[in-house]
Amino acid sequence: MNVLLGGDPPFTDELTALFRRAGHQVIPWAAEEPELPASMDLAVDVHHGDRAAKRRFIQGMDQAPETLLLVSALPVSVTEAASWSRAPERVVGFGVVPPLGETGLVELASGLQTAAPALEQARRFWRGVGYDPVLVQEGPGLVRMRVIACIINEAASALLEGVATAQDLDTAMRLGTNYPHGPLAWADHLGLDTVLAVLEGLQAEWGEDRYRPSPLLRRLVLAGKLGKQSGEGFFVWAADQAQDQAQEQEQGESSKG
């Protein structure tokens, strides 16, 4: 299957690897290309921080109205994303959280316009790449990213208030609560612009202060400090040392326990 993929790292990088392991051909989306590739069988959108780019991608797929369109439902609801398409019945929302393994779980969500055959086609696709689809209600962040973004936001607020250093905050959460990653390092991996987009989507959807982004998170994004992809976020990352640094840190702390 030929999969057109557009969006933001690390989601594009990790989905590319996942799809290729399943034997699919991945075609990167080029915004400057006016025509869609004739060989496209499926389109996948993972734009998060740039709402305008997400809308352009979805509207660009109007050239192929019969093609299934999988839209990352992290920054917006599926219904809103589908409203940008002239064929909203083929739009299915999904949510994954990097780092991605060879197998895992994907959240699927239908918009008010989504047709049942499109949802079933999405289920078959994700099963084919080794992921178990779980149907959830639509809404920014779906389940996992909604909760993770709120945890990251609270950690950012604690850092801004001087409760602890970024390193100590992450160590406390990873070793004290058995989190797979410290929330601030996890934010750097996901992309601070993605985390901010999820929180802004939740606040717009519900109008509640509990989703108000931390000023520190917003400032970092405005400064272009988006995490690993830019080299700096809550931590400073050397492109060729980021993975080794994270592994050494985890091993060192495990030995202390």
Provide mean pLDDT across the span 228-242: 83
List the beta bridge partners of residue 198: none
Mean confidence (pLDDT) of the chain: 91
**Parallel/antiparallel/unpaired status of strands 91-95 and 42-46:** unpaired
Of 250, 236, 256, which Cα lies nearest the Cα of 170?
A: 250
Question: What is residue 245's predicted lDDT score, i.e. its pLDDT?
Answer: 44
The model's pLDDT over 208-222, given as tens digits with 9 standing for 90+, comes to 999 999 999 999 999
Q: What burial class does residue 221 get, using C-beta atoms within 10 Å of its C-beta: 0-12 exposed, 13-18 middle, 19+ buried? A: buried
What DSSP string runs through the chain?
-EEEEEE-TTHHHHHHHHHHHTTPEEEE--TT-SS--TT--EEEEE--S-HHHHHHHHHHGGGSTTSEEEEE-SSS-HHHHHHTSS-GGGEEEEE--SSP-SSEEEEEEE-TT--HHHHHHHHHHHHHTTEEEEE---STTTTHHHHHHHHHHHHHHHHHTTSS-HHHHHHHHHHHH--SS-HHHHHHHH-HHHHHHHHHHHHHHH--GGGPPPHHHHHHHHTT--BTTTTBSSSB--TTTHHHHHHHHHHHHHHH-
Judge whether residue 254 has pLDDT over 60: no
Name all domains of the chain by residue range, CATH numbers in brackets: 2-135 (3.40.50.720), 144-256 (1.10.1040.10)
What percent of the chain shows pLDDT beyond 70?
Answer: 92
Residue-level length of the chain? 257
- The answer to whether the CB of 71 falls within 8 A of the CB of 81 is yes
The model's pLDDT over 86-140, given as tens digits with 9 standing for 90+, comes to 999 999 999 999 989 888 999 999 999 999 999 999 999 999 999 999 999 999 9
Q: pTM to 2 decimals?
A: 0.87
Question: What is residue 251's predicted lDDT score, i.e. its pLDDT?
Answer: 41
Tell me the torsion sign for CA atoms 206, 212, 213, 218: positive
Question: What is residue 36's predicted lDDT score, i.e. its pLDDT?
Answer: 85
Of 70, 87, 2, 92, which Cα lies nearest the Cα of 40?
A: 2
The model's pLDDT over 138-170, given as tens digits with 9 standing for 90+, comes to 999 999 999 999 999 999 999 999 999 999 999
- The answer to whether the CB of 205 falls within 8 A of the CB of 77 is yes
Question: What is residue 185's predicted lDDT score, i.e. its pLDDT?
Answer: 97
